[in-house]
Amino acid sequence: MSPATGAVTEALGELHARYADVGDGELADYIPQLALADPDDFGLALVSMDGHRYSAGDADVPFTAQSVSKPFVYALALSLLGLDEVSRWVNAEPSGEAFNGISLERTTGRPANAMVNAGAIVTTALIPHTPGTPRFTRILDCLSRFAGRSLDVDEQVYASESFTGDRNRALAYLIRSTGPLPVDPVAAVETYFRQCAVRVTALDLAAMAATLAHGGVNPLTGEQVVSEAVAAQVLAVMATCGMYDSSGAWLLRVGLPAKSGVSGGLIAAGPARFGVAAYSPPLDTTGTSVRGRLAIGELSRRLGLHLMRNPALAASTVTLVTTAGDLPTAPAAGHERAAHEDVAVVAAQGALDFTAAERVLHALDEAGPEGTGAVLDLVRVTGIGGVARAMLRDGLVRLTADGLRTAVADPDGLLRRPGHEDGDPRIFATREEAVDWCLGRGGGGSGPPARPGPPPSGP
């Protein structure tokens, strides 16, 4: 029993109940085995960044990944070859065409993107094939790492697509005829069919999407499957191309990177939030699961998950902009009081990113430059990203260069770095110690030897 998180399960259950009776859509039958799917199967699954799994309905029913495999094989190609090399062979422009369209650049034969069949076949062809490690072994291993368990191939679906897959073969021949490819897309088509026939469940797909959302780290196994940079690149292409000729409308209304497949699987990822997946075989005219589209669209609306709506802006970062004269510890009057009033104090809280760091620096500018010192209080800061750290250090160094004594209350050493450079801010465990140092009293904290006043100039 999980009474508290039962709310999440219940939300998925409600979505499931709401759309279970929708009878629209057709099963894909151009791959004969897919027409044997049960149109009533309907599963929803969500995996959080902490690896918590939630589901409703048929989230354990196996089906073949089909095109939902494409972003993950693209991730493998990017990991092995890098974005520049992969982009020479597969572009990243929305094609505005159906998944099986002839989406090739006129002069070069380069496919529009890796989410349409043409681009996916070339992407598969880019995966190295060596006697020791065949191409498909690398692909299956990668998909399994994304899912957090060993996946296998539905041989019947593979054989069925291989038997009827002339359109994809024709695409591969066309690509070979127009483009100077480093590899043979015709030979790669069979591998592409096998990759599409890899068997998954909605829970597997949610874990795979969650791995992309989690900077490439599988939240179930903790394994770094691809780099953070590659995960972001894949999500970007999913956002612009993952829903084929309905990608623009999907991004507009749902606002999540997503990928659909003709077996009825659909994934979406909320970066740094969750991975979600739906399985329901009846498809709309774009080859997307009808119930999947409805359920994930509604989930995004209900939970306010649209990417372009950024709730981070609402959080307050700077909790205090004042001078040491206004702190309870300041003397009531006299020369000492005036000295306190010349020391600016800015306190911040929470996790600091670029936006938060800009606010903190602005507050320091507001409070600091006319005085003799500035204290930045990070006691309630929970974390600092690399960019924010560099910005804060730079801002403090600039204040120091302006002639201020600058000190940081930073008990967790968030701004500390190995070795000290000239002008680095002094770091103290408490705000009081930092203020004392700015007033020219107390211990030196960590950093270079105390050097009151501006640095000596001239030779």
| Beta strands at 199-200 and 373-384: parallel, antiparallel or unpaired | unpaired
Among 33, 103, 113, 117, binds ligand GLN (CB under 6 A): 117
Q: Nearest approach, Cβ of 66 to ligand GLN (angstroms)?
A: 3
Token pair 């897309």: residue: 185
Residue with Cβ nearer ligand GLN (70 or 138): 70
Q: Is 279 a catalytic residue?
A: no
Residue with Cβ nearer ligand GLN (65 or 231): 65
Joined together, the tokens standing for residue 157 give: 């679906």
Q: Is 70 a catalytic residue?
A: yes
Residue 230 CA to residue 233 CA, distance in Å, equals 5
CB distance 239 to 227 below 8 Å: no
Q: Nearest approach, Cβ of 32 to ligand GLN (angstroms)?
A: 13
Q: Nearest approach, Cβ of 262 to ligand GLN (angstroms)?
A: 4
For residue 168, state whether it binds ligand GLN (rule: CB under 6 A). Answer: yes
Residue with Cβ nearer ligand GLN (66 or 91): 66
How many residues of this chain interact with ligand GLN, rule: CB under 6 A? 11
Residue with Cβ nearer ligand GLN (171 or 345): 171
**Strand ranges inside 324-395, DSSP E:** 343-352, 373-384
For residue 261, state whether it binds ligand GLN (rule: CB under 6 A). Answer: yes
CA 394 to chain CA centroid, Å, is: 28
Helices (H) and strands (E) in the chain, counts: 16, 12
For residue 99, state whether it binds ligand GLN (rule: CB under 6 A). Answer: yes
Q: Nearest approach, Cβ of 168 to ligand GLN (angstroms)?
A: 5
Q: Nearest approach, Cβ of 292 to ligand GLN (angstroms)?
A: 12
Residue with Cβ nearer ligand GLN (216 or 264): 264
For ligand GLN, what does the binding mask look like between residues 126 and 165, x meaning CB under 6 A? -----------------------------------x----
Token pair 């499957």: residue: 225
Residue with Cβ nearer ligand GLN (28 or 404): 28
**Residues of the chain by 3-state class (helix, strand, coil), percent to 5:** 45, 15, 40
Residue 195 CA to residue 120 CA, distance in Å, equals 10
| Bridge partners (DSSP) listed for residue 352 | 384
Q: Is 67 a catalytic residue?
A: yes
Candidates 48, 54, 69, 70; catalytic one: 70
CB distance 234 to 212 below 8 Å: yes
Range 389-408, binding ligand GLN (CB under 6 A): none
Residue with Cβ nearer ligand GLN (14 or 97): 97
Candidates 48, 55, 67, 144; catalytic one: 67
Residue 38 phi, psi dihedral angles, 5° rounding? -85, 115
Among 94, 215, 287, 373, binds ligand GLN (CB under 6 A): 287
Radius of gyration (C-alpha) of the chain in whole angstroms: 28
User: Helix (H, G, I), strand (E, B), or coil: what is residue 201?
Assistant: coil
Residue 173 CA to residue 189 CA, distance in Å, equals 10
In 48-77, which positions are buried (b, 16+ CB within 10 angstroms) versus exposed (e)? bbebebbbbbbbeeebbbbbbbbbbbbbbb
Q: Nearest approach, Cβ of 287 to ligand GLN (angstroms)?
A: 5
For residue 66, state whether it binds ligand GLN (rule: CB under 6 A). Answer: yes
The residue nearest ligand GLN at its CB is: 67
Q: Nearest approach, Cβ of 86 to ligand GLN (angstroms)?
A: 20
Among 55, 67, 246, 300, binds ligand GLN (CB under 6 A): 67
Residues constituting the chain:
459
Residue 77 phi, psi dihedral angles, 5° rounding? -60, -45
Candidates 262, 290, 343, 435; catalytic one: 262
For residue 357, state whether it binds ligand GLN (rule: CB under 6 A). Answer: no
Residue 355 CA to residue 41 CA, distance in Å, equals 44
Nearest in space to 26 (alpha carbons), one of 34, 18, 17: 34
Candidates 19, 54, 158, 192; catalytic one: 192
Joined together, the tokens standing for residue 267 give: 């994934």
Candidates 244, 263, 343, 381; catalytic one: 244
Joined together, the tokens standing for residue 289 give: 């699961």
Among 77, 198, 209, 262, binds ligand GLN (CB under 6 A): 262
* Residues taking part in catalysis: 67, 70, 192, 244, 262
Binding site for ligand GLN (CB under 6 A): 66-67, 99-100, 117, 161, 168, 196, 261-262, 287
